[in-house]
Amino acid sequence: MQRGQTGFTQAVISLWLLISGIRSQAADNMEGNAAASERPIRQSHSLCAGEEEYVHKRKQIVLQSLSTLEINCTADSVPHIALLASGGGQRAAVGLVGSLYQMEKEGLLDTVLYLGGVSGSTWSMASLYSDPEFSTNMDAAMSRLLDPSSVDLEQALVWLGERAKEEHFSLSDIWGVLTSAGIMKQMDLRHLSDEASRNATNPYPVYNAIEKNCHLQGPIKDKWFEVSPHEAGFTDLGLFIETSLLGSKFQNGELLEKKQEMDMVKLQGILGCALADEEAMKDFIPFRLNVPGYVDGAAKEYLRLWNILDKLITLTRPTVKDTVALTYLDELKEILEDRVNQSNSELLESARTEERKILLNQWSQEMLAAVDTWSQSLEDGAFKTHVSFLMRQVIPLMVKWKWGTTGNFLYQYQNSSVPDCLYSEERLQLMDAGLLINVPYPSFLGDKRDIDLIIAPEYSAGNMFETLTLARDYAAEVKKPFPEINDTILEDRDWPKDCYVFEGNEKEPTIIYMPLFNRQNCKGAEEFKAKMEEFSTFQRPFSQEKIEFVLETAKANVKNNKETLLREINKAALRRQNKRQEWL
Ligand SMILES: *[C@@H]1O[C@H](CO)[C@@H](O)[C@H](O)[C@H]1NC(C)=O
Ligand SMILES: *[C@@H]1O[C@H](CO)[C@@H](O)[C@H](O)[C@H]1NC(C)=O
Ligand SMILES: *[C@@H]1O[C@H](CO)[C@@H](O)[C@H](O)[C@H]1NC(C)=O
Ligand SMILES: *[C@@H]1O[C@H](CO)[C@@H](O)[C@H](O)[C@H]1NC(C)=O
């Protein structure tokens, strides 16, 4: 009896020790642990346990790096430095590799705690992070970019075929293949959540998107969506699930059906497709059809079809080695070219609105019929099987213009924090965050990640400084700290300097803003404009020379501004020390 009791007491004690052990491991974040089993949705404005742990480990690496740079710092006052890469298609994807490469060479990369990306920069982030230690091995990342192994078209088509059988197949899947296979030359089938258990050799990655429905009809705080190795969810609503559950079926906060986590190819497609926005369509109109005032319903549909098919060919072509397949693609290209010829344009211009509609509808039908005939004419074999299957799957998506759909974990979740734009939707429609702000500031402002210094290499097209002024307006609206941006900088818009520092006070981060093209590498406003055009966002994949040029430009920007970067990193360390002292 006594033995039994002792045994019981021991059991209680060891159970208690076990529990308290787990408790202290998970620190104060029992909430995060419980969520995995009971409540899959975490509602909070603080870090989840996993990110907290990662950041804690990463800080030891940052501390060591600061010590090597002879910057005074202690373990409890490591500054929070985030490198936030802008969008900008392949220019951004390549530019980011150049910036990070030079950061490593200057011994600055290991001072970075977080790496955040939008659109084009997420393509190269996905590729960089395929190496769990890229931060210490940027030479390898550089070689992968310059001398890529190419992707077999067959592999890409098989992947698409698999996606097409799934519930959430959308045009983003096609875009994912195009960017992965066509631009990054890699079909990366790993899952982002696999990175949750990595050591902290690399900065903590945060990928960003926006939700389409909320983007169209919600207030700004409903729109921003972030995905890290641990969690995916709405930044400003503070509603998250584990990343491995993104895409699963939910209702009223309950997990109904767990689906397989999306791979990096699919994620890339969702994050980097500005084409998903109908407004952005204007930029993709083939110039010969650019008749003013003509983009109405029928025209939109026609242009969608034309554009997607055109992009499909342009981006697939470099992956094709088989000469027969190449001939087929060129044939299809010709069929499309034919659809936007001069006489079509003239016909359209002279037609009245009603006639245009009929004409465009007729052209849509004809184009589809021509594509169909083309796919029937292919020689029997794998290429034909895949192509015909895809055409059957893809064309309805084009007509419905379906992008980035995935299961909505907030569907019918009865909680006051869920906005109308999400409550009754079974699906989320995630798309390119660059359509809102082309640099992922929203995820890095405010108390949650408490950033001291933001390094922002700017690879965006469009108006210089726009990402900054948009972020400033966003911050004002959601009441997050942001440094003062004096509008006089806008005078530099047509020919910006290579580096600007916007100094933050108290909770505001300091921002180092570094335009890719600038006064150092362009002789005047005219050359600046020409460079922006030469390296514009929407064009066929860059030639080797273009890739090398963007790399060298991005590298030089970091090299030329090393002193500024060091000075601001030093200041950030001092600030963190002061914050820490005020705290005590
Ligand atoms: C670092 O701290 C030491 C002593 O605390 C001081 O002598 C030194 O000047 C500091 N270095 C810098 C770069 O601030
Ligand atoms: C981090 O993980 C990689 C493998 O993923 C390993 O090669 C490396 O030694 C680890 N580094 C540290 C500091 O533990
Ligand atoms: C232009 O395209 C139409 C079909 O859309 C075709 O009938 C016509 O022959 C083409 N004209 C030229 C000059 O290629
Ligand atoms: C919303 O969910 C949170 C966390 O699950 C909970 O604390 C809160 O009470 C809920 N609010 C409502 C109105 O149900």
Span 130-171, pLDDT tens digits: 999 999 999 999 998 888 777 777 788 888 888 888 888 888
Instruction: Name the average pLDDT for the chain.
Output: 85
Q: What is the mean pLDDT of residues 60-80?
A: 96
- The answer to whether 468 and 454 are in contact (CB under 8 A) is no
Q: What is the mean pLDDT of residues 113-125?
A: 95
Q: What is the pLDDT of residue 41?
A: 96
Q: What is the mean pLDDT of residues 414-424?
A: 94
Q: How many degrees, rounded to 5, is the angle at CA 72 between CA 66 and CA 77? A: 85
Check residues 375 and 556 and name the one with the higher pLDDT.
556
Give the residue from 275, 273, 276, 294 showing the smallest Cα distance to 340. 294
pLDDT range class, residue 276, cuts 50, 70, 90: low
**Of the ligands numbered here, which is closest to the C-alpha atom of 34?**
4
Query: In this structure, what token pair is assigned to residue 377?
Result: 């004419």
Query: In this structure, what token pair is assigned to residue 410?
Result: 């907030």
DSSP strands (E only) in 459-563:
500-502, 510-515
Q: Is 82 helix (H, G, I), strand (E, B) or coil?
A: strand
Distances (CA, A) of 212 to 165, 436, 535: 23, 10, 28
Task: Check whether 493 has a pLDDT greater than 80.
Answer: yes
Distances (CA, A) of 567 to 56, 510, 572, 576: 24, 12, 9, 14
Check residues 324 and 316 and name the one with the higher pLDDT.
324
Rounded to the nearest whole angstrom, what is the distance from the C-alpha of residue 45 to the centroid of ligand 3?
A: 58
Rounded to the nearest whole angstrom, what is the distance from the C-alpha of residue 135 to the centroid of ligand 2?
A: 12
- CA-nearest residue for atom 3, ligand 4, is 43
Rounded to the nearest whole angstrom, what is the distance from the C-alpha of residue 326 to the centroid of ligand 4?
A: 57
Q: What share of the chain is helix, strand, coil (3-state, %, to 5)?
A: 55, 10, 30
Q: What is the mean pLDDT of residues 491-516?
A: 96
Task: Check whether 291 has a pLDDT greater than 90.
Answer: no
DSSP annotation string for 183-197: II-------GGGGGG
Closest atom of ligand 2 to 132 CA is 5
Rounded to the nearest whole angstrom, what is the distance from the C-alpha of residue 414 to the centroid of ligand 4?
A: 8
Task: Check whether 311 has a pLDDT greater than 60.
Answer: yes
Closest atom of ligand 3 to 363 CA is 5
Q: What is the pLDDT of residue 378?
A: 78
Q: How many degrees, rounded to 5, is the angle at CA 134 between CA 538 and CA 84? A: 50
- Judged by phi (left if over 0) then psi (alpha if -120 to 50, else beta), residue 462 lies in left
Task: Check whether 35 has a pLDDT greater than 60.
Answer: no
Query: In this structure, what token pair is assigned to residue 153?
Result: 């078209």
CA 580 from chain center: how many Å?
A: 33
Alpha helices, H only, 165-292:
171-177, 212-217, 264-271
Q: Is 256 helix (H, G, I), strand (E, B) or coil?
A: strand
Task: Check whether 403 has a pLDDT greater than 80.
Answer: no
Rounded to the nearest whole angstrom, what is the distance from the C-alpha of residue 72 to the centroid of ligand 1?
A: 6
Q: Is 257 helix (H, G, I), strand (E, B) or coil?
A: strand
Rounded to the nearest whole angstrom, what is the distance from the C-alpha of residue 137 to the centroid of ligand 2?
A: 12
Q: What is the pLDDT of residue 306?
A: 78
Rounded to the nearest whole angstrom, what is the distance from the C-alpha of residue 287 to the centroid of ligand 3?
A: 16
Task: Check whether 453 has a pLDDT greater than 90.
Answer: yes
Q: What is the mean pLDDT of residues 69-94?
A: 94
pTM: 0.84
Q: What is the pLDDT of residue 452?
A: 97
**Which burial class, exposed, middle or buried, applies to 524 when counting CB atoms under 10 A from its CB (0-12, 13-18, 19+)?**
exposed
Residue whose CB lies within 8 A of the most ligand 3 atoms, among 289, 302, 344, 348, for a mutation test: 344
DSSP strands (E only) in 103-252:
114-118, 204-211, 224-227, 231-234, 239-242, 249-251
Where does ligand 3 bind, in terms of residues with CB under 6 Å? Answer: 338-339, 341, 343-344
Which residues contact residue 387 at a Cβ distance below 8 angstroms, ignoring those fewer than 6 apart? 157, 375, 378
Give the residue from 456, 451, 453 showing the smallest Cα distance to 480. 451
Q: Is residue 252 within 6 Å of ligand 4 at its C-beta? A: no
**Which burial class, exposed, middle or buried, applies to 167 when counting CB atoms under 10 A from its CB (0-12, 13-18, 19+)?**
exposed
CA 460 from chain center: how many Å?
A: 13
Closest atom of ligand 4 to 414 CA is 14
**In percent, how much of the chain has pLDDT > 70?**
86
How does pLDDT run across 379-388, given as a tens digit for each residue?
787 777 777 7
Task: Check whether 233 has a pLDDT greater than 90.
Answer: yes
Where does ligand 2 bind, in terms of residues with CB under 6 Å? Answer: 132-133, 199, 201
